[in-house]
Copies of this chain bind each other. A is one copy, B any other.
Amino acid sequence: MNNNLLSKIRDKSAVIGILGMGYVGIPLLIRFASQNFKVIGFDIEEEKVNLLNEGKSYFKHIESSCIEDAILNGFESTSDFSRINEVDAIIICLPTPLKENNIPDLSFVINSIETIKPFLRKDQALSLESTTYPGTTEEEIKPHIESIGLKIGEDFFLIYSPEREDPGNPNFNPKNIPKIISGHTSSCLKIAEELYGSVVDEVIPVSSLRAAEMTKLLENIYRAVNIGLVNEMKIVADAMDINIHEVISGASTKPFGYTPFFPGPGLGGHCIPIDPFYLTWKAKQFNVETRFIELAGQVNTNMPKWVIKKVVEGLENHEKEISKSKILVLGLAYKKNIDDVRESPAVEIISLLSEIALTVDYHDPYINKFPKMRRYKLDKSSVELTEKNINSYDLVLLVTDHDIYDFDMLKKASKLLVDTRGRYKKPCSNIISA
């Protein structure tokens, strides 16, 4: 066992290097800094590095004062990856998106490993937090470390500990969310226990890196499948003229065996639409099927089209053609009260509607300008949300039900309102559930 690194963690002289200053890395650096660890935040984007060094947050749900406090505790950000040799524990919080055809894209992680490889040294620990398929840490990271002569479990420590960030959730944070940890050897696990145990209330060791990788996937697969299920149930209930939201609130009164999930216009965010396919890809190598994941993907991906069908039908029932209609979409973020548009179904909906409607505008209190995205290029800005302006549209489509919206006013001001979130419980002549 390596007592050098262990004692450095214990007396908090260990320097923590976090790779990726994003939704996961920032809350984690704040937590480590608050526990008096010196933290260096690595990112390739100079703009982010500069903002952080000025004590500025670029996320709506994270206060700049938290970054300022971290700086007072020695935090600094850099794009100079050679400084990896200064740190004792390297924590990788980089995205793991999908390529075309739902194939895992590990390039952010692998490229970072190749970048830091020349600066790795004895007595360091490396922990991967990115969500990925079982086997990644051992198959994709371990060989790089061994190739430079480091002995894992003796003078280098390899850890997998999945992030469980839920941006904007006020009840949970990196301190009070129990953290799954795993190590390639028992010494690696010991280091993981010490490292995360010094900043998290409860660490949960599992028996292998693989089991820890699978744990995170199971959590997100459970969500993706249940959202898919309730979206399919919405379509069935709608056909039978039953309000799915009434049914869900009825079922939620069962005191055991039922947990509500809510249908919506589709699935967004960086995790739920993407992570499950990491398992699908890996399962193929073992000749086993992940049919629930694939079905959930299909159902959830098709929801924007279903919403548009309801929009077109709603207009027709009010003697309006879609091609002559002005439409206002409310909410661009993938969930309420945040400013994150990653995989947001609103973007797909606006893009599809723009092809068939006369005018499509949007409003989002947190997103002034339609962001540049890989697959979509739309030059739009958030419009004003006055009663007069709302009333000038033929149809208002509620996609993201930010709590800041005045739902009574929206109902009054809209000629016709399509509600994809079940915000309006009571039947009303100008409101359509979708």
Contact = CB atoms under 8 A, between A and B. Distances in A.
A40 B112 CA distance: 75
A223 interface: yes
Given A232-B289, A236-B279, 15 more contacts: A171-B256, A176-B255, A177-B255, A206-B247, A207-B243, A211-B243, A215-B250, A218-B247, A219-B251, A232-B291, A236-B283, A239-B288, A291-B299, A292-B299, A295-B295
A223 B259 CA distance: 10
Interface in A243-301: 243, 246-248, 250-251, 253-259, 279, 282-283, 286-292, 295, 299
Interface in A353-394: none
A177 B247 CA distance: 17
20 contacts: A135-B240, A176-B255, A177-B255, A207-B246, A211-B242, A211-B243, A218-B233, A218-B248, A219-B257, A221-B229, A222-B226, A222-B257, A222-B258, A222-B259, A232-B292, A235-B288, A236-B283, A236-B288, A239-B283, A239-B286
B299 A236 contact: no
Interface in A100-144: 134-135
A251 B215 contact: yes
Interface residues of A, number: 64
Contacts of A240: 134-135, 210, 214, 282, 286
B134 A286 contact: no
Given A219-B251, A239-B283, A289-B232, A166 B257 contact: yes
Interface in A134-170: 134-135, 164, 166, 169
Interface string A196-216: 000000101011101110110
Nearest to A290: B236
Nearest to A169: B256
A180 B299 CA distance: 29
A58 interface: no
B218 A177 contact: no
Contact of A253 (B180, B214, B251): B180
A237 interface: yes
A178 interface: yes
A386 B122 CA distance: 57
A345 to B, nearest CB: 19
A228 interface: yes
The 7 residue pairs across chains A and B that have the minimum distance between CB atoms: A215-B250, A239-B286, A178-B253, A259-B259, A239-B288, A229-B292, A218-B251
A247 to B, nearest CB: 5
A225 interface: yes
Given A218-B251, A255-B178, A288-B236, A242 B282 contact: no
Interface string A163-192: 010100101100011101000000000000
Given A134-B240, A221-B233, A225-B225, A250 B204 contact: yes
Contacts of A286: 236, 239-240
Nearest to A237: B214
A181 to B, nearest CB: 10
A161 B395 CA distance: 38
A212 B250 contact: yes
A247 B214 contact: yes
